[in-house]
Amino acid sequence: MPRSNRPRRNASGPRPGSGGGKWAEPVPELDLERARAGIARRESAPDGDWMVRTMTAKKAEKQYICPGCSTAILPGIAHLVVWSDNHLFGQAAGLAERRHWHTNCWNTRTYRYR
C-alpha cells in the first residue's frame, strides 16, 4: 500500500496546545483611503515632471499657503503635495522644495514658459 503524505489530524479541530493557528486571529480591515494616499504618482506636463501625492483630510494637520491662489490650506482640508521629479540638484532637493496645493489649483494651473 502506498504511503499517504497528508497529515493525520483530528477532524474535530486544531491540535491541542497549538493556539488555533494563524487563521484564528481576526484580520484587520484595510484602510483604502490610507493606502491610496501614501503613494506618489508621476505627472508629466510642459513645465516638467512632477511627483504628486494626495494628502487626505485626516492627515492634513498643518496650515499651508497654496502657490496657485496664495490662500491658506487649513488643517482638515484634503490637498496635494507636489515636488519636482527632475530637479537640477537631484531628487532630494526636489523633495525638500515640495509645495502643498489645493487640488483644483493644481489641476487648473497655467504652465509658465520662460
Write the pLDDT tens digit of every residue in 51-83: 999 998 888 899 999 999 999 999 999 999 999
Q: Which residue did the predictor score with more confidence, 41 or 17? A: 41
Confidence grade of residue 14 (pLDDT, cut at 50, 70, 90): low
Virtual torsion, Cα 54, 57, 60, 66, nearest 10 deg: 70
Confidence grade of residue 30 (pLDDT, cut at 50, 70, 90): confident
Q: Which residue did the predictor score with more confidence, 99 or 113? A: 99
> Residue 114: what pLDDT?
41
> Residue 77: what pLDDT?
94
Cell of 23: 487563521
Rg (CA), the chain: 25
